[in-house]
Amino acid sequence: MEKQALPASSCSLVLLEETKKSPFPLTNGGGGYPSSASNGSLVPLGAGVAGSACSSGACARSDKKVSVANGTGPGYQERETWTRQMDFIMSCVGFAVGLGNVWRFPYLCYKNGGGVFLIPYLLFIFVGGIPIFFLEIALGQFMKAGSINVWNIAPLFKGLGYASMVIVFFCNTYYIMVLAWGFYYLIKSFNTTLPWSTCNNEWNTPSCLEIFRHQDCNNASVPNDTIISGNMTCAQLAEARSPIIEFWENKVLNISTGLDDIGQFNWELTLCLMAVWVLVYFCVWKGVKSTGKIVYFTATFPYVVLIILLVRGVTLPGATTGIMYYLKPDWSKLEEAQVWIDAGTQIFFSYAIGLGALTALGSYNRFNNDCYKDAFVLALINSGTSFFAGFVVFSILGFMANEQGVDISQVAESGPGLAFIAYPMAVSLMPVAPLWAALFFFMLLLLGLDSQFVGVEGFVTGILDLFPGRHVYRYKREIAVAICCLLCFIIDLSMVTQGGMYVFQLFDYYSASGMTLLWQAFWECIVVAWVYGADRFMDDVARMIGYRPFPWMKWCWSFITPCVCMGIFLFHLVNYKPLTYNNVYVYPWWGEVIGWCLALSSMLCIPISLLYKLFRAKGTFKERWAHLTCPVWGAHHLEYMAPDIKSLSSLSPGTDDNKVIIFESVM
């Protein structure tokens, strides 16, 4: 085979040469490098690699310290791997395919004019979604580390890892509230008559109306003071409210007047929240060996229910009108900046990009797993589920509009309550309504549950990777998961009050969507493509999967995706609008300040960490940069990047022939 030049990575070459001069036994990737702190810190050279250091992209003889890799010999735990590769696929499906597909995506379609939203959505899949999705999985698989230590590939930018940890922590905190609401609805479904289907409950108002007859009022010959439905005139009918909406706002949320009116705790919701957190804890506490089995059920069962609901939905009157509203684009919407911002945001949110969880899941893969193929399969499943769920939602919206005699855009209020308004309406109209309601909300619980516990898994993985393997003690993972869940639960208590919905929207709008994810994705591409090297990482991927990915990935990482991310980011800032609830309540100035603090808490991790490391280092700026961007390799790199290591042992150390052989084996 023709010899090729080593791509801009002479550091790894010298480490291999020096290791050959003082060989260590290789068993399961162990002992190839001297031990260091597991957080990738610089340690004094040991006997094996005395005197090597990185300078200006090359390794030169020096008395300085050098970045060396984790040991996996005595005292260190070998990293877990998935029992089957399908465990990884199902975990990614469970994490990425969740409430964002059947709750957020249809809501954004409704908000942004229906089918027109699909145009920017599909565009951003190929210029942003798939390239970064693949980048994060491949990076985790190559570095065998969680969201923080994975940036040992360029230690100067380890702030990216801390930023992703902050984002996923916020996401874990507020995302679970949707599960608590779903669990509350599930419990209420076990009644002979669904509580949201009638107007004779204590939380209903005089404006509540079960059956709307707007079509009678649309007749111009009928005066406004004519009694049409019950004791209501046409004028009063225009202000009538569905019992479903009243159940959501008056009973479940018991919503207050604003963010400054927190009100009382909803103890029923608090117990539901506690139950969901306990469930999440026992799904995560034993690691990927158990998580990989649970997702087989939590990731597949929702599809069965979605198919059943679609069959029921398309048989309802008005469903065709709703589906046409979903498919027929309103071209004028493309002129609105918010449509493009929401499309880009939805891609990053739905694909779970920038959260660090995909990196954690990829780190448990076999080193030679074909993550390139996995990325395309998972992207197809993710986007296909979103598109399919839209048919279910809009067939039901069409039916609701037909029943009430109004336009589809008026059948549900805007906001995250869409799934708790349109869907309950659908199941209440089916035969044996309590059974269908329980089935649907059980599906909703499963959809969010696997996303939630995989997010917690990603956060805990990043935390545990910061501790050296020699500090292993019993129940370390169990204690870490318990602390994480308890801390999130305490913060969640602010969201089970009467003003909790305002707090929830504050987290959703600022902390884990929009600007933060775009900022994170931008820097991930810059660091891998321009600091570490796009061609260099493509070679690393080729070592793992056995072939070189299509150059489109490299072009996206280097140029297209960073430009798209920064373009939407700047567009978002220019077109920034204050947060509102239901387009009526405007958040106070201090509420926006809290929101911006949530956003900046993750975004500032990158520049602050970078400046701190540069100021702490010694030497000229060029020397500091070269030293801090030199990768910290793991012991598994020696095993997999030098497969012919046995043949090397027969060569005398330090000879030119030895260097040539190592040079080829690295490739």
Annotated binding-site residues for Na(+) read 94, 96-97, 101, 350, 382, 447, 450-451
Nearest alpha-carbon partner for 640 in 345, 304, 369: 369
With beta carbons less than 8 A apart as the criterion, state whether 358 and 136 touch: yes
Cα-based distances in Å from 367 to 437, 488, 507: 44, 33, 37
* One-letter identity of residue 389: A
With beta carbons less than 8 A apart as the criterion, state whether 627 and 54 touch: yes
> Which residues lie below 8 Å from residue 133, measured CB to CB, with a gap of 6+?
351, 353, 358, 375, 378, 379
Distance between CA atoms of 583 and 580, rounded to whole angstroms? 5
Distance between CA atoms of 429 and 449, rounded to whole angstroms? 27
DSSP SS3 for 538: helix
| Cβ burial, residue 265 (10 Å; 0-12/13-18/19+) | middle
User: What length is written for the chain?
Assistant: 667
Strand partners, 114: 329
Residue 181 token pair: 């609401």
DSSP SS3 for 429: coil
DSSP SS3 for 77: coil
Nearest alpha-carbon partner for 599 in 523, 521, 513: 513
Residue 81 token pair: 């791997």
* One-letter identity of residue 330: D
Number of Cβ within a 10 Å radius of residue 154: 19
DSSP SS3 for 103: helix
Distance between CA atoms of 458 and 1, rounded to whole angstroms? 41
Which helix (DSSP H) or strand (DSSP E) does residue 228 occupy?
strand 227-229
Angle at alpha carbon of residue 461, lines to 16 and 459, rounded to 5°: 135
Distance between CA atoms of 158 and 137, rounded to whole angstroms? 17
With beta carbons less than 8 A apart as the criterion, state whether 504 and 174 touch: yes
* One-letter identity of residue 216: D
The DSSP line for 580-597 is EETTTEEPPHHHHHHHHH
Binding-site members are: 94, 96-97, 101, 350, 382, 447, 450-451
Distance between CA atoms of 465 and 281, rounded to whole angstroms? 19
* One-letter identity of residue 444: L
DSSP SS3 for 232: strand
> Which residues lie below 8 Å from residue 600, measured CB to CB, with a gap of 6+?
none
With beta carbons less than 8 A apart as the criterion, state whether 515 and 603 touch: yes
Nearest alpha-carbon partner for 556 in 8, 126, 157: 126
Three-state secondary structure of 432-455: CHHHHHHHHHHHHHHHHHHHHHHH
DSSP SS3 for 355: coil
- Long-range CB pairs of 654-660, under 8 A, 24+ apart, other chains included: 654/21, 658/17, 658/20, 659/17
